[in-house]
Chain A
Amino acid sequence: MNTVSIRVQKRDGSLVDYDGAEVAASIADAARGLDDELTRAVQLQSEVEITLFDRIGTDQLDDAVIHVALANVKDDPAYDTIAARLLTKKLYKQVFGDTHDLFGDGAPETIRQLHALHFPGYVERAVRAGLLAPELATSFDLERLAAALAPERDDLLRFIGVQTMRNRYMLTDEARRPVEVPQFFWMRVAMGLSLNEADPTAVALELYEAMSRLLYLAAGSTLVNAGTRYAQLSNCFVMQMDDEIEHIAKSVRDVMWLTKGTGGIGLSVTKLRSEGSPIRSNNTTSTGPIPFMHTIDSTLRAVSRGGKKFGALCFYMENWHLDFAQFLDLKQNSGDPYRRVRTANTAVWISDEFMKRVAGDDDWYLFDPLDTADLVELYGAAFSRRYAEYAAMAESGELRRFKKVRAREQWKAILVTLQTTSHPWLTWKDTINTRALNNNTGTIHLSNLCTEVCLPQDADNVAVCNLASINLARHLVGAGRGARFDWDLMARSVRTAVRQLDNLVDITASSVPEAEHANRENRAVGLGVMGFSDVIERLGLAYDSPEAWDVIDEVVEFISWHAIDASCDLSRERGPYANFVGSRWSRGLVPIDTLDELERDRGVPVDVDRTARLDWDRLRARVRGGVRNATLMAIAPTASIGLVAGTTPGLDPQFSQIFSRTTSSGKFLEINRNLVADLKGLGLWERVRDDLLRFQGDLSKVDGVPQWLKDTYRTSFQVDPTAYLHVAARAQKWIDQAISRNIYLADRSVGAMVDLYQLAWRMGVKTTYYLHMMPRHQAEQSTVKVNKAAEIAGAGGGPRRGFGARPAATAVAPAPTPSVSIELEVDVVDGAACPVDPQERLQCESCQ
C-alpha cells in the first residue's frame, strides 16, 4: 500500500503527512509484554495501512488501529489486549488532554502521576457542572483517594469491558465526551456508596480496592448513578396492576419514572379482568389486559434509561387467567401489532397445582380474575384447595365465565411458544412463596425483569432489590487441579459487598413513593456470583460433571453463610430491617430449612442433594436476633457487568468457544482465553484455530485435540441440558431469592422440553430465564474456507463435480443418483462420514 499520498487531518483542520512510525510506536506500546509483540505490531500496522484513505482524521486513525486489532482476535486473544489498551489510552488522551503523539505517553509512572494529578480537579469540575453530588467534593479527602488510584488495574479489563464502561457506565459531559478514566470511575462509584458512613474516605478506599480489582461489581444502575446528582441506585422494581383504572394509569406513570431512573421492572397483570368481562361503572366490557400491556410496551421505547437503553420490563401472568392464550401470542413476530409487545418480555407464573395436573394429565380451568380474585393471593396447598373449589363451581354452572383445557395442551403451548419466541419465561409461584423467609409482609405475586428477584409487593409497596455480584474468577488462585479458592478473600469480598449494598438502600432515591417505602422497610439486597464457567474450566471440570455441581454448591453455601452473617453484624450495628419481626428469620430459619417445608406443602419430593458443609446452627441462633436485610442473595444475569469483569456471566456456560456478542456497543468476537491457553500449552493453537471458527466454536468437531480437552470445553449446546438444572438447584438451596437461569438447547423436540422443565420444577428450581436454541442454519461463513476443492474421483453415488467433471465426462461421470432414498447413503472420506444431504456435502470440506 502506497502511504506516501495519505494525509491525516488533525482536529484543527490542518493536514500532515501520515507517519507510519508514530502508528507503529503506539501499537508497539500497546503490545508491550505480550509474546511476539514486535511481529504483531508490524502486522497490525500493515493491515491498518491497507484501509487508509487520504484526509483520514486523527480520531478515525485511532479507531482504525483499534478495529484492525479487534479483527485479529480470531487468531489470538492477545490482540484483544492490544485493542483494550489502545482504547484506554484513547480515554486517557481525551480526559487528560491531548499530547503530542497518537495515543499519549504510555510509561506507567507517567500515567499514575496523571491520574493523581487530575483526580481532584475532575471531581470538583464535575460537581460544578452538576454531574456529581456536592458531597463528593466536600466529604472526602480527595488527595488521599487520588494517591490510591492504581491505573495498572486497567490492564485487567478486556476490550469489551472498556467499551462497555465507556458507552454505558462512565460519566460524560453534555457533549457526550468522556470525563472519567476507568480508575476515576471505580473511585467515583466507591465514593457514591460511602456517603452515609462515619468515615466516608476509609470506606470508599475499601470499596475502590474491591471493585477496581474486579473482586465484585455493583450492578448496572448503581454503576451509572452512584455519586451523581441523580442517585437512583436500585436495579430492580416489582409491581402489580390492580384491576382499577386509576391504578392502571398510575402504573403507566410509575413505569415511566422507574425507567427514567434506569431500573428494570417486573409487572404482573394477573389481576386485570379478562376481555369481555363486565365493567359496571359505564356498563361496557373490558378489553382485557392485552391492550394495557401494549400501552406500557410503547412507554418503554418512549423513555430511554439514562439515554442509554430502552426501558426493560417483564410482564407476568398466571396461567389460569382466561386471556392466557393471548398472553402467549404477545411475542409472535407477525400479527396485529396492537396485540403484541415488541420491547417488553413475558413470563408465566406457574402454580404447583398446574404442574401436578400436567403430571396427572388432568383438566386445567381458566378463570376471569373478577370472579376469582383471591387466587392471586393464595399459594401452595391453600391455592390448590381454592382452585379446586372454583373448578367445581365452574362445572356446576355457578361461574359463567371460564374455559377448560387439558393441562398438557397448555403446557405444550407454553413450551412451543418459548422455543419460537424465547418467551414466556417459566417461573414457579409456589416454590418461591413457600420457601420465602420474608413472607410475613404478603404474597410474592411475580418475579422481576430477569427472574431472580422474589419479593412481595402490594398497592403501597413497589418492591425494590439492590444487586451486586461476586466475581468468582478473581477468587481462584492457580490453575489446573492445583487451583483453589482463596476463601478468606472471598469472605472479605462478600462482607464488603453486603455492607455496600446496605449503604445503597439509604443513599438511593426513587421518584416512586411506594418504591422508596418498600426499599427502606425491607432493605432487600441480592448478592450473586459470576464467572462460574470460567472457574470450572480452570479447574479442568466439565459443566455437566457432578464435581462442577459440588463446586457451585460449596461456593454458594459459603457466600450465603457469610452474607447472612454480615447482615447479622449490620443488624447489631444499625438495627434489623423494619419488617423483621414476624419473618421466618425471626423464628431462626435460614434458606436451607425451607426445602422440607416445600416438600411438605406440595406433597412431591424436592429432588436435590441436601449436603451442608458449614455451621448453620450458629447462624440460626444469630438471625433470630435480627438481620439487616429481608433478603441477601440473588443471581442476576450479569450480562453487562460480566463483560466489565472480563468473565462468564452468572452461572452461564461458555456459549461457544468462539462466538460473537451483540450489545449496544457493537458486535464483538469473543474467544475462550482459557481454551487458548490450554491449546497453546499443548502446541495446538495455530493448527486448530481456523477449524474452531469453521465449526462455530465447537471443539468436539476439531481433529487432533485430546478428548479430555473436549470434555472440559463444551459449548452451551453440547452440555447436557439437565446440567443447567443441577447447577441451579444446588445453588438454589442456599439462595433466598432466585437465579436467572439461561438454558441452551440443541434438541428442538418439544417432548424433550416437556421433560426438562418438569424436572426443573421437581428439583426445586424457582425460575428460568431465556431459552437459547442452537441455530440450525447460519449464513455462509466468510473468513473460513468453505467448500475446499479436494478432487475425489467420482464413484457411484459420489459428490457432484460440476464443471470439474469434464472433459472426462464420458469416463468418470458420477452414476445417476437413485431417485428416492438419497439420504440413506453414507460415504466415508478421510475417516469422517460425509453428510448425506447433498446440500451439506457442498459445504463439507472433505470432498468436492
Chain B
Amino acid sequence: MTSILGTGIQEGLLLKPVTYRWAMDLYDQAVANTWFPNEIQLGEDLADFARMTDDERHALTYLMSYFNPNELLVNKALAFGVYPYVNAAECHLYLAKQMWEEANHCMAFEYVLETFPIDREQAYESHVSVPSMAAKEEFEVRYIRRMTEDTLDIATVEGKQDFVRNLVAYNVILEGIWFYSGFMVALSFRQRNLLRNFGSLIDWIVRDESLHLKFGINLILTVLEENPEVATEQFAAEIRQMILDGVTMEEAYNRDLLPTGILGLNAQVVNDYVRYLTDRRLEELGFEPEFNVANPAKWMAAANDTFELVNFFEATNTSYEVNAQA
C-alpha cells in the first residue's frame, strides 16, 4: 500500500520510479508556465490608475493589502504544514516549484506596490487593523500554528486530520476561494480596459493558482483514499463547516472591499461568486453543494475561460510556455 504521507528523512530521495504521476505532471506543467513580473510594463497602467474612481482605487489597494502578506503565509503553510509530512519525491518537486511561485507572486505584488502610488504603510497596516481582513488571517494562522507544534504525529489519525485541516485551510479556502474571489475583482478592471498590464500579471497568477489547487485537492483526495479512517462523519462535518465559515469571513471582507460598488461589481455580486466557487470546491472534495447559485460574473468567460488570441503589438501573450524540449 503506497503512502503519500510520511516523515522519514531518508525516504522520498529517489524520484524514479514515480508513484504519483499527477504530481510529476503538475511539476512539468508548472515549470513550463514560468513567468516573471518584469515581462510586462506596469508603468503603462499608471494613466489608468489616475483615471480610476476613489472606490476603484480603494478596491485595488484593499486587494494588494490582502494578497501580498498572504502569498508569504501560504509559503509558510507549505514549508511547515505540507512539505515535512509528505513522502513522495515528485510531490516535493512540485512543492518546491509552488513555493517559488508564491515568492514570484509576492514579487509581482511588490512590483504593483512600487509602481502605483499606493501608500505602502497604510496598505500593510490594514491587514492587521481592518477586522474583516485580520479575521481571515487569524483563521489561517490558527491552522499553521498547529502544524508547527512538534506534537504532530503524522502516523496517527489525529495527525493526519491535522494535515488535512491545514490543506483545507490554506489550499481550499485561502487559495481556492479567497484568492479566487480577489482575482475576479482584479480581472474586472480589465473588462473595462483598465489596468491591462496588471491584468496580465493576474492571468499568470491565476494560471499558477489553478495548478496549486489541483495539487492540493489531489493531495487531500489521495490522503483520504489511502487512509480511509480519516474521513469520519464528525471530521467531514467539521471540514464542511470550516469551509462555510471561510465563506462568512469572505463575505464580510468583500463588504469592506466594495462598500459602495464600482462599475459592474458590488459586494453582493462578488459574494454570489464566492458562494458559486465554494460549491465547486465542496463538490471537488466529495461534498454536496451548499448554496446552489449560478455564476453571476458571466464576463469571466471572456476574462478567463477561453483561449486568448492576442494582438502581439498591443498586449502580452500570457499563454506561451517555456522549456521546450528539442
Cβ of A765 to closest chain B Cβ, rounded Å: 21
- B190 close to A (CB within 8 Å): yes
Is there contact, CB below 8 Å, between B264 and A807? no
Is there contact, CB below 8 Å, between B300 and A782? yes
Smallest CB gap from B3: residue in A: A816
Find A51's partner among B209, B269, B288, B309 (CB 8 Å cutoff). Answer: B269
Is there contact, CB below 8 Å, between A837 and B22? yes
Is there contact, CB below 8 Å, between A783 and B297? yes
Q: Which stretch of B65-73, B131-139, B220-228, B245-253 is in the interface?
A: B220-228
Q: Is the interface on chain B under 10, 10 to 19, 20 to 34, or 35 or more residues?
A: 35 or more
Is there contact, CB below 8 Å, between A421 and B320? yes
Find A669's partner among B225, B269, B296, B301 (CB 8 Å cutoff). Answer: B301
Q: Which stretch of B7-15, B107-115, B119-127, B231-239 is in the interface?
A: B231-239
Cβ of A8 to closest chain B Cβ, rounded Å: 13
**Chain A hits for B292, CB < 8 A:** none
Cβ of A101 to closest chain B Cβ, rounded Å: 21
Instruction: Give bound CA distance, A312 to B311, whole Å.
Output: 12
Is there contact, CB below 8 Å, between A416 and B326? yes
**Chain B hits for A621, CB < 8 A:** none
Chain B positions 11-66 with a Cβ under 8 Å from a chain A Cβ: 17-22, 25-26, 29, 32-33, 35-36, 38-39, 41
- B151 close to A (CB within 8 Å): no
Is there contact, CB below 8 Å, between B2 and A67? no
Instruction: Give bound CA distance, A697 to B302, whole Å.
Output: 12
**A697-B311 contact in complex given A805-B286, A837-B25, C-beta closer than 8 Å:** no
Return the CB mask of A803-847 against B: 1 if under 8 Å, else 0: 111110110011011011011000000000000011100100000
Instruction: Give bound CA distance, A72 to B300, whole Å.
Output: 11
Instruction: Give bound CA distance, A309 to B196, whole Å.
Output: 14
Is there contact, CB below 8 Å, between B321 and A779? no
- A656 close to B (CB within 8 Å): yes
Is there contact, CB below 8 Å, between B218 and A842? yes
- A770 close to B (CB within 8 Å): yes
Cβ of B252 to closest chain A Cβ, rounded Å: 18
Cβ of B39 to closest chain A Cβ, rounded Å: 5
Return the CB mask of A60-78 against B: 1 if under 8 Å, else 0: 1001100110111111000
- A618 close to B (CB within 8 Å): no
**Chain B hits for A416, CB < 8 A:** 324, 326
- A789 close to B (CB within 8 Å): yes
Is there contact, CB below 8 Å, between B308 and A659? yes
Q: Is the interface on chain A under 10, 10 to 19, 20 to 34, or 35 or more residues?
A: 35 or more
Instruction: Give bound CA distance, A258 to B307, whole Å.
Output: 34
Cβ of A382 to closest chain B Cβ, rounded Å: 33
Q: Which stretch of B78-86, B95-103, B152-160, B277-285 is in the interface?
A: B277-285
Is there contact, CB below 8 Å, between B283 and A71? no
Smallest CB gap from A698: residue in B: B307
**Chain B hits for A665, CB < 8 A:** 193
A413, A770, A772 pick with most chain B CB within 10 angstroms: A772
Is there contact, CB below 8 Å, between B284 and A842? yes
Is there contact, CB below 8 Å, between B25 and A663? no
- A558 close to B (CB within 8 Å): no
Find A780's partner among B210, B286, B303 (CB 8 Å cutoff). Answer: B210
- B149 close to A (CB within 8 Å): no
**Chain B hits for A54, CB < 8 A:** 260-261
Smallest CB gap from B19: residue in A: A819
**Chain A hits for B263, CB < 8 A:** 51, 56, 60, 63-64, 67
Is there contact, CB below 8 Å, between B214 and A842? yes
Is there contact, CB below 8 Å, between A788 and B283? yes
- A52 close to B (CB within 8 Å): yes
Instruction: Give bound CA distance, A52 to B266, whole Å.
Output: 8
A693, A780, A842 pick with most chain B CB within 10 angstroms: A780
**A779-B19 contact in complex given A51-B265, A53-B266, C-beta closer than 8 Å:** no
Is there contact, CB below 8 Å, between A787 and B283? yes
Is there contact, CB below 8 Å, between A838 and B315? no
Cβ of B25 to closest chain A Cβ, rounded Å: 6
Smallest CB gap from A60: residue in B: B263
**A782-B268 contact in complex given A665-B193, A777-B211, A817-B2, C-beta closer than 8 Å:** no
Cβ of A529 to closest chain B Cβ, rounded Å: 19
Instruction: Give bound CA distance, A331 to B284, whole Å.
Output: 40
Is there contact, CB below 8 Å, between A848 and B283? yes
Find A820's partner among B17, B199, B304, B317 (CB 8 Å cutoff). Answer: B17
Is there contact, CB below 8 Å, between B315 and A806? no
**A70-B302 contact in complex given A333-B36, A656-B307, C-beta closer than 8 Å:** yes
- B217 close to A (CB within 8 Å): yes
**Chain B hits for A802, CB < 8 A:** 220-221, 224, 231, 284-287
Instruction: Give bound CA distance, A813 to B230, whole Å.
Output: 12
- A696 close to B (CB within 8 Å): yes
Is there contact, CB below 8 Å, between B324 and A663? no
Instruction: Give bound CA distance, A748 to B206, whole Å.
Output: 24
Instruction: Give bound CA distance, A38 to B281, whole Å.
Output: 37
Instruction: Give bound CA distance, A337 to B41, whole Å.
Output: 13
Return the CB mask of A410-422 against B: 1 if under 8 Å, else 0: 0011001001111
Is there contact, CB below 8 Å, between B323 and A420? yes
- A639 close to B (CB within 8 Å): yes
Is there contact, CB below 8 Å, between A805 and B224? yes
- A662 close to B (CB within 8 Å): yes
**Chain A hits for B269, CB < 8 A:** 50-51
- B299 close to A (CB within 8 Å): yes
Is there contact, CB below 8 Å, between A656 and B322? no
Chain A positions 637-664 with a Cβ under 8 Å from a chain B Cβ: 639-640, 655-656, 658-664
**A773-B320 contact in complex given A50-B269, A783-B297, A838-B218, C-beta closer than 8 Å:** yes
Smallest CB gap from A664: residue in B: B314
Instruction: Give bound CA distance, A303 to B142, whole Å.
Output: 53
- A334 close to B (CB within 8 Å): yes
**A420-B284 contact in complex given A779-B304, A800-B221, A802-B221, C-beta closer than 8 Å:** no
Find A660's partner among B196, B264, B296, B307 (CB 8 Å cutoff). Answer: B307
**A839-B307 contact in complex given A420-B320, A662-B315, C-beta closer than 8 Å:** no
Is there contact, CB below 8 Å, between A667 and B191? yes
Is there contact, CB below 8 Å, between B305 and A806? no
Is there contact, CB below 8 Å, between B315 and A781? no
- B319 close to A (CB within 8 Å): yes
**Chain A hits for B298, CB < 8 A:** 71-72, 74-75, 783
**A71-B284 contact in complex given A779-B210, A807-B233, A809-B231, C-beta closer than 8 Å:** no
- B310 close to A (CB within 8 Å): yes
Is there contact, CB below 8 Å, between A775 and B25? no
- B106 close to A (CB within 8 Å): no
**A839-B320 contact in complex given A53-B260, A787-B280, C-beta closer than 8 Å:** no
Smallest CB gap from B233: residue in A: A807
Is there contact, CB below 8 Å, between A779 and B260? no
Instruction: Give bound CA distance, A750 to B324, whole Å.
Output: 9
A312, A693, A697, A789 pick with most chain B CB within 10 angstroms: A789
Smallest CB gap from B315: residue in A: A662
Chain A positions 7-56 with a Cβ under 8 Å from a chain B Cβ: 50-56
Find B305's partner among A661, A783, A803, A848 (CB 8 Å cutoff). Answer: A783
Cβ of B97 to closest chain A Cβ, rounded Å: 14
**Chain A hits for B36, CB < 8 A:** 333-334
**Chain B hits for A301, CB < 8 A:** 41
- B162 close to A (CB within 8 Å): no
**A778-B207 contact in complex given A803-B285, A806-B236, A816-B2, C-beta closer than 8 Å:** yes
- B140 close to A (CB within 8 Å): no
**Chain B hits for A639, CB < 8 A:** 311, 313
Residue pairs across A and B with Cβ atoms less than 8 A apart, 12 shown, are A50-B296, A54-B260, A63-B263, A71-B299, A73-B302, A660-B302, A669-B302, A782-B301, A801-B286, A816-B225, A839-B26, A842-B218
**What residues of chain B have their CB less than 8 Å away from a CB belonging to chain A?**
1-2, 17-22, 25-26, 29, 32-33, 35-36, 38-39, 41, 184, 190-193, 196, 199, 203, 206-207, 209-211, 213-214, 217-218, 220-222, 224-226, 228-229, 231-233, 236, 239-240, 260-266, 268-269, 280, 283-289, 295-315, 317, 319-326
Q: Which 4 A-B pairs have the closest CB atoms?
A: A53-B261, A804-B286, A802-B286, A669-B302
